[in-house]
Each structure stands twice: as structure tokens, then as C-alpha cells.
């Protein structure tokens, strides 16, 4: 096996090779994880020193010099011997920092570095996702405003219903995305630090270190929490922070997945009707066999990844449910998969949605043609009302319209012809009193109600304040998508 081909002979996650951003991948990398462990050991040492333990500046500086200098091979060899990942890294770090070796991990349990690192990663991952989500919201809101007045067929039961507008339909997607932003922002705002809690959460080891001084133990917890960039810590924990935290976050991501799937399914349906398309690059190939095809592959990718996001919720719920007493280790392997993949999939979805939302293509003439096939039927009540105002009998007019509608429907369904109801009305002398009004009666814009106004009100009142709250952090441009 050549060195060149070695990387292709083992499993590699498509979330890394095809979909997620480098920035999100880095948060779940070994380098970030284990360098954060070392930073947490340094924070602990600084806090313990400030509270009177015999720890020197030289020991702290030695650790700081080696934060990123991780010998992964040595750590793997140690873990093979000890069967314990944290102690393997304690040993390797201690070998690199002989002065600090006696005080590394002083008083702590494995979850001090494991859980606190996870919370830091969750915080940073949410900070990466939210500006991208708001970027999608901003782009789609601009699209909604642009097409707020363009009539299009509305559908209920996937059957033509009353008209709406292209922009109004888009606001339905944006409204769901706003709910996802609220949920994920709530997760971010409520996220706390595990802090220094000891083996079963009682802080007994730290109470011993500080000779029974509970005030110093509480101050240690507060100090390390602030050094880690958190404002609050969880007041009580077992060995771990409650896996309810993971469940809340993964549930919010799963909910985002449901939103993405709904929106992108709509886009796929509209692409099938040739009314709306996602961006399609000049050199892009839609099908290996059918060169004319313009498949909605970005929307299909989003739906595929979204289903994976949705499935993660069950994993997080089950992990919380089976955490016996102060903790069991059957959460570990599952969380390695669930937390990383939920965020990487969400990141990939939002990157793809950014690409879609900044290049949606609308085909007004196709939309107009599709409306023309259905609007004559929808306008029947308006025709009846106009005839009544002109002195006609409602029941007589209703029967006339009913007969003509069935005849026109037969032309469409049985013979594949266009809807000719309007021509049949024009040809019937009974409707002569309103023929001059037919164009106005059949104007699609008279069938969209307050749709355009609703778009303006929604964007101004609901969207703009959220977008403005993110300032220049909003991500509105996506890099070229990976394959």
C-alpha cells in the first residue's frame, strides 16, 4: 500500500470530505479537543494558585508553552496501555511539562476536561451556526420582498387552491427559520459551564485541597468558569453535566432539519413545475444519461442531510434516559457521534441553503401559464357576483357556470387541452352584460388578498429586528459548494 493511497483505505465521513465547513470540522477535531483539555488544566491551575495552593508561575508558563504541542502518537500509545483517554493525555502533557507534572489535573475528574470541553465546543458551534442561519433568513426575506406581488397558485392537499404570491410562500419558510433561530439562540443563551465539581458532583476532592474551606471551592468554580468565558455554571451536576443539555440542543438542530426538509421539498416540487429553480452552474451536469435535466441537487442534498439531523434527536433523548444515577459511560460513544454529526450536518445544510437562497430563479411566464389553467375555475364566484350586480339571477348564473366549467374541465382532463372556460363564457350571450369586466375579474392580483402587504409587514416587524441584532456577524455569502 503506497503512502499516497493510505488515506483512501479507511472510512472517512462525508461530512468532512464533502459537506461541512473547515471551521466547523475544526471544532470537532482532535487538535481542538485536546488543546482545550490543556487550556482547562491551565485554567484550573491558575484558579487554584490564586486561591493559595502551591503552584508557581513557572509551572503555568511551562504548560502554556505546550498547549498546541500535542504528541498524538505518544497519547495513543499511553491510552493503549491505560485504556483511559484522559490519563493518557495527562501522562503525555506531564512528560512535556516536567515542572508542572505534579499539579496537572489537580483535584479534577475526567469530566472536568471532557464535559467542559464539550460545552465549549457546543458554545462555539452555536456561535458559528447562528450567523449562517440568520444569513439564510436575510437572503430569503429579500427574495420574498422582491416577489411579494407576483401571483402564483397556492396548494392545499397538493391540489390547486386560491392564489398566493411567490413572496408570501417564501415567508412561510422564513417564519419557520425564525423559530429555529429563536430555539438555537435560547440554547446558546442558556448554556452554562460544568465547572469544577469532582467525581460525583459533590466537590469533595476540592474541599480536601482547600482544607474544608467551602467558600474557596465555590470561588474556584466561579473563577474557572470566568476563565473559560462563561458567565454561569450549572449549580448541581452528577459526574457529568445533565445530558438534558445535549438533548435540548440536538432537538433544536433536529427541528431546524425539519424546517430545511420542508422548505427544500417545496423547492423540489416547484422545480418539477418549472416555476422556480435553485442555482445551476454553467458546467453542472444534471444527469449522466439525460443531458437536458436540471436536477435540484442542492435541495436534495439538504433534504438528505436534514433527515440525518432529525434522526439525531432520538439518540440524544435515549442517552439522557439511560444515564443511571450520577452517570454511566454508555453515553460516551454515542455522544461522539451525535453531537458532532448533528452540528456538521446542520452546518452543511446552512452552507447549501446560503448558496440556494442567493441564486433562486423564478419563471413568471410558466407561473402565469399554470395560473391560466386554474384561475377560470377559481373566478366562478366572482363571475356570478358580477352577473348578479348586473341584474342576473344567482341560481341561473350558477347553473350556467357549472355546466360550462364541467365542459372546460373535460377538455383539460380528457383531451389534454387548455382550460377554455373563459372562451365559453365569452361565447354565451347570457354573460354579455359583464364581458367588459372579464379582464378585471380574471386579473390574478385580485385573488391574492393581502399577501403582498403581509410580506412587507412580516419582514419589517419580524425579520429585520432579528437580522439587525446580529450586526456584521450575519453570513450572507457561501463559498463554492463542495462536490
Indicate which residue of 35, 141, 157, 205 is catalytic: 157
- Could you tell me the three cell numbers for 24? 466547523
Q: Is 287 a catalytic residue?
A: yes
**How far from each other are the two terminal CA atoms of the chain, in whole angstroms?**
27
d(CA 100, CA 60): 7
Catalytic, out of 84, 287, 332, 469: 287
Q: Is 332 a known active-site residue?
A: no
Which residues, 6 or more positions from 367, have their beta carbon under 8 angstroms from its beta carbon? 150, 151, 152, 153, 166, 275
The residues annotated as belonging to the active site are 157, 287
Amino acid at each position: 500500500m503506497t503512502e499516497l493511497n493510505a488515506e483512501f483505505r479507511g472510512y472517512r465521513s462525508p461530512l468532512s470530505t464533502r459537506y461541512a465547513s473547515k471551521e466547523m470540522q475544526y471544532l470537532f477535531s482532535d487538535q481542538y479537543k485536546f488543546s482545550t483539555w490543556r487550556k482547562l488544566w491551565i485554567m484550573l491551575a491558575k484558579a487554584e494558585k490564586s486561591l493559595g495552593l502551591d503552584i508557581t508561575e513557572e509551572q503555568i508558563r511551562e504548560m502554556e508553552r505546550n498547549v498546541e504541542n500535542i504528541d498524538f502518537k505518544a497519547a495513543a500509545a499511553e491510552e493503549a496501555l491505560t485504556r483511559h483517554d484522559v490519563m493518557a493525555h495527562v501522562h503525555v502533557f506531564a512528560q512535556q511539562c516536567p515542572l508542572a507534572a505534579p499539579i496537572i489535573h489537580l483535584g479534577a475528574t475526567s469530566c472536568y476536561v471532557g464535559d467542559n470541553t464539550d460545552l465549549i465546543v457546543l458554545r462555539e458551534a452555536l456561535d458559528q451556526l447562528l450567523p449562517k442561519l440568520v444569513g439564510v433568513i436575510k437572503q430569503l426575506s429579500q427574495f420574498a420582498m422582491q416577489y411579494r406581488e407576483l401571483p402564483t397558485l397556492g396548494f392545499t392537499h397538493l391540489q390547486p387552491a386560491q392564489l398566493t404570491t411567490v413572496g408570501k410562500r417564501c415567508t412561510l419558510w422564513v417564519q419557520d427559520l425564525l423559530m429555529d433561530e429563536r430555539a438555537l439562540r435560547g440554547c446558546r443563551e442558556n448554556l452554562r459551564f460544568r465547572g469544577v465539581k469532582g467525581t460525583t458532583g459533590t466537590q469533595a476532592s476540592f474541599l480536601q485541597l482547600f482544607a474544608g474551606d467551602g467558600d474557596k471551592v465555590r470561588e474556584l468554580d466561579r473563577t474557572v468558569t470566568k476563565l473559560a468565558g462563561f458567565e454561569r455554571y450549572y449549580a448541581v451536576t452528577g459526574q457529568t453535566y445533565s445530558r438534558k443539555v445535549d438533548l435540548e440542543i440536538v432537538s433544536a438542530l433536529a427541528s431546524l432539519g425539519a424546517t430545511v426538509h420542508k422548505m427544500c421539498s417545496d423547492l423540489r416540487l416547484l422545480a418539477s413545475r418549472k416555476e422556480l429553480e435553485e442555482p445551476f452552474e454553467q458546467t453542472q451536469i444534471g444527469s449522466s444519461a439525460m443531458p437536458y435535466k436540471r436536477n435540484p441537487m442542492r435541495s436534495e442534498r439538504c433534504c438528505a442531510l436534514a433527515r440525518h439531523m432529525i434522526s439525531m434527536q432520538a439518540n440524544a433523548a435515549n442517552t439522557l434516559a439511560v444515564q443511571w444515577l450520577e452517570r454511566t459511560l454508555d453515553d460516551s460513544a454515542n455522544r461522539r457521534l451525535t453531537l458532532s454529526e448533528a452540528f456538521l450536518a446542520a452546518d452543511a445544510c446552512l452552507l447549501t441553503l446560503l448558496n440556494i437562497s442567493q441564486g433562486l430563479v423564478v419563471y413568471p411566464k410558466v407561473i402565469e401559464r399554470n395560473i391560466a389553467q386554474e384561475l377560470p375555475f377559481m373566478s366562478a364566484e366572482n363571475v356570478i357576483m358580477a352577473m348578479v350586480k348586473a341584474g342576473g339571477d344567482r341560481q341561473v348564473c350558477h347553473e350556467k357556470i357549472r355546466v360550462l366549467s364541467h365542459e372546460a374541465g373535460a377538455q383539460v382532463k380528457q383531451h389534454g387541452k387548455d382550460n377554455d372556460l373563459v372562451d365559453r363564457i365569452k361565447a354565451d350571450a347570457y354573460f354579455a352584460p359583464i364581458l367588459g369586466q372579464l379582464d378585471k375579474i380574471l386579473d390574478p392580483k385580485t385573488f391574492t388578498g393581502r399577501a403582498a402587504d403581509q410580506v412587507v409587514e412580516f419582514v419589517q416587524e419580524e425579520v429585520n429586528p432579528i437580522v439587525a441584532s446580529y450586526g456584521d456577524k450575519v453570513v450572507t455569502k457561501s463559498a463554492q459548494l463542495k462536490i
